[in-house]
């Protein structure tokens, strides 16, 4: 069974990205784009991003995770440290984040180094989560093989009983990462595949070099 996709094409004509409109810092441009996407009725889950890591098996792997905060330092997300993703980052903390908002014909690609958040920061975010999400962090041994859905449901029920009438504290195997960017590329779709690509690269003096890339 096969399907020819060679005629799947779209002309990108909504916006442009020029050097004259680019701020000196990439996080300022990220904020502009993110807020525009977040206010758009045509973009769902603006904070959904693809995280790519190099696994302990040597293969790259990508998955969609939710961005929970961005600051002048970088980008924050949370996960199970014992998951496949967590083990990959422990072995090689050079990762890539990407955002794609098709309705705006925009993409952002971020290369950076992931570092563990302080325990206090992870505790604070965990406390803000709904009870069900807190229990899920305890009940799921993320990325491990399970024999059935029933096992997951039984684990969740067990932790519901364990924490009944008790506060649900953060498990040590769960917490946040801060991704400190070293490169950020902004892609704006343009007609005739002549897209705008602007890349920011962090220099040794912590300034950012801005370059246009060929599409």
Ordered by where they begin, the domains of the chain are: 19-129+174-212 (2.30.110.10)
In the set 193, 197, 199, 212, the catalytic residue is 193
Question: How high is the pLDDT of residue 3?
Answer: 86
Question: How high is the pLDDT of residue 9?
Answer: 80
| CA neighbor of 80 nearest in space, from 130, 132, 131, 144 | 144
Beta carbons of 170 and 126 less than 8 angstroms apart: yes
The predicted model scores a pTM of: 0.93
The parts of the chain modelled with pLDDT lower than 70 are none
Question: How high is the pLDDT of residue 2?
Answer: 86
Beta carbons of 81 and 173 less than 8 angstroms apart: yes
Question: How high is the pLDDT of residue 58?
Answer: 96
Bin 58: left if φ > 0, else alpha if -120 < ψ < 50, else beta. left
Distance separating alpha carbons of residues 26 and 17, to the nearest angstrom: 13
Question: How high is the pLDDT of residue 204?
Answer: 97
Collapsed DSSP state (helix, strand, coil) of residue 179: strand
Beta carbons of 174 and 137 less than 8 angstroms apart: yes
Tokens 């570092």 belong to residue: 115
Catalytic residue at 193?
yes
């Amino acid at each position: 069974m096969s399907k020819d996709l060679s005629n799947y094409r779209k002309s990108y004509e909504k916006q442009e990205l020029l050097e004259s409109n680019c701020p000196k810092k990439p996080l300022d441009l990220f904020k502009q784009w993110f807020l525009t996407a977040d206010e758009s009725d045509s973009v769902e889950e603006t904070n959904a991003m693809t995280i790519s890591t190099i696994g302990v098996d040597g293969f790259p792997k990508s998955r969609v995770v939710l961005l929970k905060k961005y600051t002048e330092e970088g980008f924050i997300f949370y996960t199970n440290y014992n998951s496949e993703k967590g083990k990959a980052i422990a072995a090689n903390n050079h990762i890539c984040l990407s955002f794609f908002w098709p309705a705006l014909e925009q993409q952002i690609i971020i290369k950076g180094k992931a570092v563990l958040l302080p325990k206090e920061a992870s505790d604070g975010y965990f406390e803000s989560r709904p009870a069900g999400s807190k229990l899920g962090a305890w009940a799921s041994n993320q990325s491990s093989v399970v024999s059935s859905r029933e096992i997951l449901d039984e684990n969740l029920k067990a932790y519901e009983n364990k924490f009944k009438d008790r506060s649900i504290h953060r498990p040590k195997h769960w917490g946040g990462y801060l991704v400190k960017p070293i490169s950020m590329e902004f892609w704006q779709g343009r007609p005739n595949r002549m897209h705008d690509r602007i890349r920011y690269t962090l220099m040794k003096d912590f300034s950012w070099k801005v370059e246009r890339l060929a599409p």
